[in-house]
Every structure is written in C-alpha cells, then in structure tokens.
C-alpha cells in the first residue's frame, strides 16, 4: 500500500521587511514528510531552518505557499485553529529547555498534558526517558542533559503527531548530546512519532531516514538516507 505524506509543503516562502530591505528567509520550499520518518533538516546559521520549523509548528505564517497536515491546509487556519494545532498536533523541543523553575520534572510534564485531548501516561513517559528516579527534582537540581530529557518527555507526553526539535543538542556536551539523540531515536521507534530535527551539525544527519539540506533560504537537497547509523556511532 502506498504511503501517504503526513506533511506536504508546497512553495513555502517567508519574507521579512527590514526597513527598505526585504529579507528572504525562506524561498519556494517544497517537500513531503511521511508518517514515522526521522527527518534531519541540515544547514548553516541563516539557512532558513528555524523559519521553516516555525511555520511547520504553527508559530509563524508563510508569505506565500501552502502547507498541509494530512488533508488539512494549515496555512488557511485562523489564530484559534493554529493554537489548537500547536496544542494537539505538535510537540516542541528547543535548544534551551524552557522549563518552569518552580515546578518539578513531573510537574513540568503534567502542565503540558493538562491542556491536551489524548495525553500519554506521564509515569510511563518519564520512565522511558530515564527520569523515573529524578521526577521529583526541580530543574536547578538537574543536569543539562536531564533537563533536556524533561523537555522531551513534556513534548512526547502530549501525544502529538509530530515532534519538532530545534538544535536539541546545541547546549550539550558531546556525550550528553549523543544520549539525547539516542533518546529521540527511541521515541521515533517506540512511540512511532514523526521526528523533525534541525541542526547545523552535519554528522547528526547520519541517523536520519530523510535528510533535507538548506542553504540561503532554499532546499538544495532532499534525499532518503540508505545508510543510517545508530546515534552511538556518530562523531563530531
């Protein structure tokens, strides 16, 4: 049976007006993402990666073009519909963890699930990300890697269709970064979540099902990776 795309992006562009200068952050980008894929969007700073992720996450609107989640055209959504889309369909993981300092790890995850329609079991998710023994600690009592695990648990527990990760290893040392990549790979397989990870770190692309390369606001390559390696084999 032929797979149907989970996300379909058609000629997306995003322009910003900076005084008299028009900044073309994203230019005529088109591609498809299939359910259950682990996708790495690779490119240097300023290549348009974050702009693209913000549009796919419903945090920004394109200047031109269309974007579909299954049969729904997200680019036609009003603000209320976009809020529901971000709440129910998307899980976000950022470079900086954005945890509530006065809440424990478990409470940070609970806070996200309280507004969702069909959240996962919090205890199970915390256990799966390796935080069963640290769930009652506050962020200040956790290492950077542990805080990122809380952020991932918070995103996954919402039970979203897509996990969007913006440089999730950028603030971590190599060893901890590999552990986080291994965790994201586990989430992709175990929970069957579509994962999109943006990075400027080229070796990370080796673990992806699909690699999308960006430069100067444009997609310059979109290819299936036939030679995936486990995160533990990645070096940089």
Q: Flag residues of the chain having pLDDT under 50.
A: none
For 87, the 3-state DSSP assignment is: helix
Running DSSP on this structure, what letter comes out for residue 229?
-
Q: Model confidence over 121-170: pLDDT tens digits?
A: 999 999 999 999 999 999 999 999 999 999 999 999 999 999 999 999 98
Q: Give which of 12, 32, 29 is closest to 194, Cα–Cα.
A: 32
Domains, the chain, with CATH or none: 5-227 (3.40.50.300)
Q: Give the phi and the psi of residue 233 in degrees, each rounded to 5.
A: -95, 0
Among residues 149, 191, 159, 6, the alpha carbon closest in space to that of 87 is found at: 159
């Amino acid at each position: 049976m032929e797979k149907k795309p989970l996300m379909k992006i058609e000629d997306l562009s995003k322009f910003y007006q900076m005084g008299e200068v028009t900044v073309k952050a994203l230019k005529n980008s088109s591609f498809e993402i299939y359910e259950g894929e682990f996708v790495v969007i690779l490119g240097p700073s300023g290549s348009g990666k974050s702009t693209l992720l913000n549009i796919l996450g419903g945090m920004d609107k394109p200047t031109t073009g269309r974007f579909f989640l299954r049969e729904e055209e997200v680019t036609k959504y009003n603000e209320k519909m976009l809020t529901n889309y971000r709440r129910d369909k998307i899980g976000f993981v950022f470079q900086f963890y954005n945890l509530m300092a006065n809440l424990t790890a478990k409470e940070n995850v609970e806070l996200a699930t309280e507004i969702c329609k069909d959240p996962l079991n919090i205890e199970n998710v915390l256990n799966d990300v390796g935080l069963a023994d640290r769930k009652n600690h506050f962020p200040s009592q956790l290492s950077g890697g542990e805080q990122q695990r809380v952020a991932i648990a918070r995103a996954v527990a919402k039970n979203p269709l897509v996990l969007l990760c913006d440089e999730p290893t950028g603030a971590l040392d190599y060893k901890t970064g590999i552990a986080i990549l291994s965790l994201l790979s586990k989430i992709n397989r175990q929970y069957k979540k579509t994962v999109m990870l943006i990075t400027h770190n080229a070796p990370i692309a080796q673990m992806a099902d699909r690699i999308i390369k960006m430069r100067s606001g444009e997609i310059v390559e979109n290819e299936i990776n036939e030679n995936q390696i486990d995160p533990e084999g990645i070096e940089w």
